[in-house]
Every structure is written in structure tokens, then in C-alpha cells.
Structure 1
Amino acid sequence: MTSRIDQILARIDALHDELEIEIARRRETFRYRLEQGRVKFEADARARNARAKIGLAAFLARANPWHIATAPFIYALIVPFALLDLFVSVYQAVCFRAYGIPRVRRGDHIRIDRHHLGYLNGMQKLNCVYCGYCNGLLSYVSEIASRTEAFWCPIKHAARVKAPHARYAQFLDYGDADGFQNGLEASREALKKD
């Protein structure tokens, strides 16, 4: 017998699948496909993208001065992001192996592909590489953290959590003292099968 939570999660999975199908349809609209993880634009789409490109000089001339002034603050974050990447990757390599938790693949989270878009100038491409790395890194770290939480403390919080990770719905109910020990072991076993 499936629980109400399992039914809701199945509907969410179905909606994710539906979303992926719609995104695939849009690929056809914009005339590109993925071949072995690489983007391939059709010739007419490449030409259309090149015509839509705004040159770097025009881009900078139209830029909001505040955007330019704050750019160093944005790009300075590369240092803590790179350190986070290093430390979390080492943590996962050591601890997940010790706990028997399947490791998270960086490539499933960090996608750097927007620099292939012909309608972006060099500055825009650099910005896209940076954002792809940083947001992908946060997704990677979040997945590692969710697996860690599922292993050590799979308990829901008393108050609502905005945008919790995918495993959260399967966590044990807050205050369920009787179900905690068995639920903890079940959570660990389920995690090892991921």
C-alpha cells in the first residue's frame, strides 16, 4: 500500500518527465540537438544566432553602470566557490566511501554549455560560464548534503521548509520517536540503493 506522500511524489516525477518532454520539443523549435552530450545547431540556426549577437562594445555602452560596478563583487565569489567545490568533493570522496553512500557525479549538476550560443558576445559567454559553474556547484553541494542528511538525520523539521531537496518528503515525521531507529536504518538502506 502506497502512502499519500508516495502518490504525490509519483505525480511530481510524472510532471518532471512531462517537463523534460516539453523542453525536448523546444529543442526542435530552436533547431538544435544533443549528440553525446554536445550541442549541435543546424546551419540556419547558427546563422540566425550570429545575426542576433550584440557586439561587446555596444553591450558595454548600453550596460547599467551599477552592473559594471558590482561585477567585481560577483566574480570575487569564485574563490569561496572553488574552495567549497574542493572541500565538498574531498568530503564526499572520503566519507561517502566509508558510509557506503553512492557518490554524486559533478557532471550531473555542473553544466557549462551556454558559451556555445552564437548570439552571446564574449562577456555574456563568460558570465554564463560563471553562472553555470556556480549554480551547478550549489546543486552538486545540495545533493551531497541531502544524501548526508538522509544518512544521519532523516527527520522533517517542525516548521515548513521552502523548496526542500527531493529526499525530504521521505524523511521521518518530526516527533516520531517510536519510528526513528527503524526509519533511520530504512533511510540508510534506501540511500545505498540510489
Structure 2
Amino acid sequence: MADTLEKLQARLAEAEEQLEAEWEKRRAAMHYHIEQRKIVFEKEVREAHRKLRVRLWLFLRRTRPMVILTTPVIYSVAIPFALIDLWVTLYQWICFPIYGIEKVKRSDHIVIDRHNLAYLNAIQKFNCVYCGYGNGVASYVREVSARTEKYWCPIKHARRVKGSHGYYGEFCDFGDGEAFQKESPRLRRELRKKD
């Protein structure tokens, strides 16, 4: 069974490489590239994007009143996102060095770049920043939690877990105490910073 899991993990890694290659093709098809972390569109594409932008007054006029009324509720979630972002950052900065776990690079998860799209108006850009931050924080927190789980409790659950993180497949089977005792040190070593 472990051999089958290893083969599946290898296929998953290969699929991720293929996915990245496809994303690169898509970037070329959309006529942009990234230079020193900055997104650069071809001039003609940028002009075409500006023409597609829905003016702010028209955007607001088309918006249903209930959408406007729920806006404060939606944006209020920014406070818990910011608090968990801060707290998880402190947690990993304090604890991960003690346990020898490589820190999660926050900028790999929190990506805010859609505000660079010229076809978005100011409200749409703000919404994109908000969603990028919220989903980025969720991804960041998940990776910190996943590394913590791999270090302390690399055991699969008895029931199937939806959307498990990338480390979960290598965890020990539920009820296999011998594997837990044998594999835990190796799994912990894998979390160490790679120089």
C-alpha cells in the first residue's frame, strides 16, 4: 500500500509541474509576463483592457441594494483575517525555529496582484485585493497548520477528510502505532530547512 501511495504522490508532483507549464502558456496567450515581480502587459492589451472597464457610476447603478447593504458584513471579516494572519505569523516565528521546522513563506500564499488589471474599476480592484488577502491568509494558515500536524501528529483520520493538505498522503494509517513510532522522526526531518 505504501508503494501505491508513493507512486500516486510522484504522479501528483508530475501533474503539478505540468500545471505550471500550462500556466506559463496561458500567461503568454494573455500577452503578459512577470519582470522582477511586476506584471507587464503588452501596450495594446493594456489599452484594450482600459476600454473594457465599467465606469464606477454605472457599476454602482447596476448593483442591487442588498449587495450594498451586506458590504459592511463582508468587509468586517478583514479584522479576523488580519488577526489570524498576525497570530499565525508570530506562532511560526516563535515555535518553528525551536522545532527545526522551515518557516512558511507568507508571500507564496498571499498574492495581491489583480488590482493591476486595467479592466477593473476602483471597487472591483478593492474587492480583488480583499479576496486575494482573505484566501491568501487561509492558504498561509493551512500550510503552517499542515507543517505543525506533520511534525506532531502525522496520522491519517479514521474517516475520509475532504481537501486534505499536501502532506496528508504520507501520514501513517489510523491505528498503525508501529508506523507512527517508526515514521515520525523521518517526517519531522523532512520539515527541516533545506539549505
Q: Distance in 2 between matches of 1:173 and 1:191?
A: 20
Structure 1 residue matching 2:112: 3-state secondary structure: coil
Alignment-derived partner of residue 18 in structure 2: 18
Number of residues of Structure 1 aligned to a counterpart in Structure 2: 193
Unpaired runs of at least 5, structure 1: none
Give structure 2 stretches of 5+ with no counterpart: none
Give TM-score, length-normalised by structure 2.
0.96
Query: What is the rounded CA distance, in whole Å, between the counterparts of 1:29 and 1:66 in structure 2?
Result: 38
**Aligned-pair CA distance for 1:186:** 1.4
Could you give the per-residue CA deviations for residues 109-147 of structure 1, whole angstroms, max 9, x where no partner exists?
Answer: 000000000000000000000111110011010000000
Q: TM-score, normalised by structure 1?
A: 0.96
What letter corresponds to residue 61 of structure 2 in structure 1?
Answer: A
Instruction: Name the counterpart of 1:149.
Output: 149
SS of residue matched to 1:110: coil
How far apart, CA to CA, are the structure 1 residues paired with 2:65 and 2:50? 26
Q: Secondary structure in 2 aligned to 1:33?
A: strand
Q: Verify: 1:176 aligned to 2:185, yes or no.
A: no
User: For the residues of structure 2 that align with 1:181 and 1:12, how far apart are their CA atoms?
Assistant: 27
Partner of 1:103: 103
* RMSD, aligned CA: 1.1
Q: 3-state SS of the aligned residue for 1:5? A: helix
Runs of 4+ in 1 over 4 A off after TM superposition: none
Q: Give the superposition deviation at 1:193.
A: 5.2
Which one scores higher on RCO, CA 8 angstroms, separation ≥ 6? Answer: 2
Equivalence map 1:114-153=2 (5 Å)? 114-153=114-153
Identity %: 46
